[in-house]
Structure 1
Amino acid sequence: MTEATEEQVPDGPLGWCLVANVARETPHGESGLDIQHGTKHFRAGTLLWLPPHRWDPGHWRRHAVGRHRGNGRRYVSMVVRVEHLENFRVKGVYSEALVRGINGWDHDPAAPRTLQRPWVREDAQWLADALNEPREPVFVEGRQYALPRVSVPNPPPAELQLDGETLHLARYGTRGAYYSRSAPPVERVPEG
């Protein structure tokens, strides 16, 4: 194995990036009851680099760059679900190959060590802290989609105050917390 020369090792990071690992177990299928190890494209534990949004890939999805399950030598770019990721943090980017993968079609061969849209380290750290706090989307009976900008801690509370209305936890599943406007039935205990 050859040692890297001083010209090949950068003095400091070429930029900062939000990173995460692929979760050990990921829910798939209807109701998320099919548990798999990793995802179709990435093994469990794979380090993924999450650059700032180029375009919006959809609700709770992120553009990610990592080493593919089938070819561990090259970086590939995919869209992944945030729920399939864990251990969010900020890391420095040191590799020109990684810079090329993060830049994607914006990569400039004349400036191979330049990130086109780098993270501001504080912004990436704020997002990492927010994503590491386990929160669940909130669904209310009669609505097909989760309420925007409303989430609850994991595990969810039995009651939730929302717009002056008391909602009661009806069920809790892999997709989030489901609340009802009606109170749960009272269980009668026989005397005696």
Structure 2
Amino acid sequence: MEHLENSRVKGVYSEALVRSLNGYDHDPAVPRTLQNPWTRERAQSLADGGNRHREPLFIEGRPYAHPRISVPNPRPAEIQLDGETLHLARYGPRGAHYSRTTPPVEWIPEP
């Protein structure tokens, strides 16, 4: 679902789609009946989850994305992970990169 945008729940009326969704459980006697239909709430929950754009999280010093967590878009400046605070270091084409070190404080000269 990562390449889909604006997912929404709609009824299924195509016999071919019903047959595909049923798979081996398809009953030719009732060609337009889903064998294991989802509730509207479950389908809407899946659609809403796909509509939230999330991006992989990288931690400075590790060559791979964190396997358990992704961040929403826009990315938060700080996140809590395993009891430590991580700060957004940069954003790259593959995702958000966080660091354990705090970002530098901008110096503003006094007038």
Do both proteins adopt the same fold according to a TM-score greater than 0.5, normalized to the shorter chain?
yes
- Equivalences for residues 27-46 of structure 1 within 5 A: none
Following superposition, the deviation at residue 172 of structure 1 comes to: 1.7
Aligned partner letter, 2:45: W
- The runs of 4+ residues in structure 1 deviating greater than 3 Å are 184-191
Aligned partner letter, 2:19: R
CA distance in 2, matches of 1:116, 1:87: 27
CA distance in 2, matches of 1:108, 1:96: 11
Show the counterpart of 2:32.
Answer: 113
Show the counterpart of 1:136.
Answer: 55
When residues 174 and 109 of structure 1 are mapped into structure 2, their CA distance, relative to the original with a 3 A threshold, is farther
1:104-159 CA deviation, whole Å, 9 max, x = no partner?
343222331221222111111122122222232322234423241x3322111222
Following superposition, the deviation at residue 165 of structure 1 comes to: 1.5
CA distance in 1, matches of 2:57, 2:83: 16
Show the counterpart of 1:122.
Answer: 41
Alignment counterpart, residue 157 of structure 1, candidates 69, 76, 80: 76
Normalized per residue, the structure richer in helix is 2
**Superposed CA RMSD:** 2.6
Following superposition, the deviation at residue 181 of structure 1 comes to: 1.2
Alignment counterpart, residue 65 of structure 2, candidates 136, 145, 167: 145
Show the counterpart of 1:50.
Answer: none
Show the counterpart of 2:16.
Answer: 97
Question: In 1, are the aligned partners of 2:54 and 2:72 still within 8 Å (CA)?
Answer: yes
Question: In 2, are the aligned partners of 1:139 and 1:145 still within 8 Å (CA)?
Answer: yes
Show the counterpart of 1:169.
Answer: 88
CA distance in 2, matches of 1:183, 1:147: 23
Q: TM-score, normalised by structure 1?
A: 0.48
Aligned identity (percent) is: 72
1:38-89 CA deviation, whole Å, 9 max, x = no partner?
xxxxxxxxxxxxxxxxxxxxxxxxxxxxxxxxxxxxxxxxxxxx22111111
Aligned partner letter, 2:66: A
Following superposition, the deviation at residue 175 of structure 1 comes to: 3.1
Following superposition, the deviation at residue 190 of structure 1 comes to: 8.7
CA distance in 1, matches of 2:58, 2:24: 38
Question: In 1, are the aligned partners of 2:60 and 2:99 still within 8 Å (CA)?
Answer: yes
CA distance in 1, matches of 2:65, 2:54: 16
